[in-house]
Amino acid sequence: MIMEKVRYYIGGKGIEFVCENTGKNIFADAIIIFDNRNSKRKIQIDWPSFAESQGVEKFREKIKKLIFSAAGQPCDHLELVFSKRGSDYVPIKEGWRIFVEEMLQMSEQNAFKEAVVMIADEKDFRICLKEVEPLLVSLSSKTFKNPYPAVDAIIKKDKGVVLVYRKNPPPGWAIPGGFINYGESAENAAAREALEETGLHIRNLELFGVFSDPGRDPRFHTISIVYTAEGRGTLKAGDDASRVGIFSQEELPDNMAFDHRKILQQFFKRQKKDMKL
């Protein structure tokens, strides 16, 4: 019978803690299930001997390796079974904190889609939640309220700037760019998006400005890191771009997406100022 259930959404993934007492004399304190892809795996940890004579840092290292080797492999469900109930070297509340911290690290690497932590003993359930809930609440509240980071590259070519016409809403001409992937630097994202959308390799990348008006994108709040760069190669529309072209200040199209007309006006104004110096 399920006594209590608490669920968090972190980075688009569900992490659920369930207190379940079936009344049976079970060996484990808890079963942790990772839902991922194509197979099922189950690993049992004898917590006292696992931590015996090792200390906290060794325990963390072992937990990290265990989760990586298990959740990092293709699987539908991964069950981690913890035995009673802690040790003199790693108390149970500290062990839970370490386990959840390492589980969150694997979550950021897309090792699993869902995690369910099933805890048999109500006292252990309270200990676990008291130790890890502040971290989980903090992360879950931040996940859905932060702006989305994006990049745009003002590519200078043939005495103009390169613009792409968007395939997807919102429609219009835009500076080549897109969202930064996890594990990717803003500079690499700008180069990747430029190549995907325009066919150009960019060089001499320089920061132009950061644009963060909450209303700049009609879909959701985005923050764009805008660079200037020089483009090499042959223009060819691709990815999210249906068309690509080179425009001077006087030839900027009427139908422009986001705040890109404002950005380009600042760019051309700064160019004129630099030429006078």
Residue 146 CB contacts under 8 Å (≥ 6 apart), including other chains: none
Same-domain check for residues 177 and 103 = no
Alpha-carbon distance 208 to 227, whole Å?
5
Q: What does pLDDT average to over the chain? A: 77
**Greatest CA separation for the chain:** 83
Domain with residue 234: its CATH number is 3.90.79.10
**Model confidence at 121: pLDDT above 80:** no
State how far the alpha carbon of 12 is from the alpha carbons of 15, 58, 141, in Å: 10, 30, 12
The pLDDT of 77-95, averaged and rounded, is 58
User: Three-class SS of residue 256?
Assistant: strand
Position with higher pLDDT, 2 vs 25: 2
Same-domain check for residues 6 and 138 = yes
Phi-psi region of 140 (alpha: psi -120 to 50; beta: other; left: phi over 0): alpha
pLDDT tier at 38 (50, 70, 90 boundaries)? very low
Given this model, what pLDDT does residue 168 score? 84
Same-domain check for residues 155 and 128 = no
Q: How many domains does the chain have?
A: 2
Task: Give the CA dihedral 182, 188, 192, 193, nearest 10 degrees.
Answer: 80
**Model confidence at 193: pLDDT above 80:** yes
Position with higher pLDDT, 270 vs 145: 270
The range of the structural domain enclosing residue 68 comes to 2-143
- The share of the chain scoring above pLDDT 70, in percent, equals 70
Query: What Rg do the C-alpha atoms of the chain give, in angstroms?
Result: 26
Strand partners, 119: 19, 30
pLDDT tier at 2 (50, 70, 90 boundaries)? low
Position with higher pLDDT, 28 vs 80: 80
**66-80 residue pLDDT tens:** 766 665 555 444 455
pLDDT tier at 46 (50, 70, 90 boundaries)? low
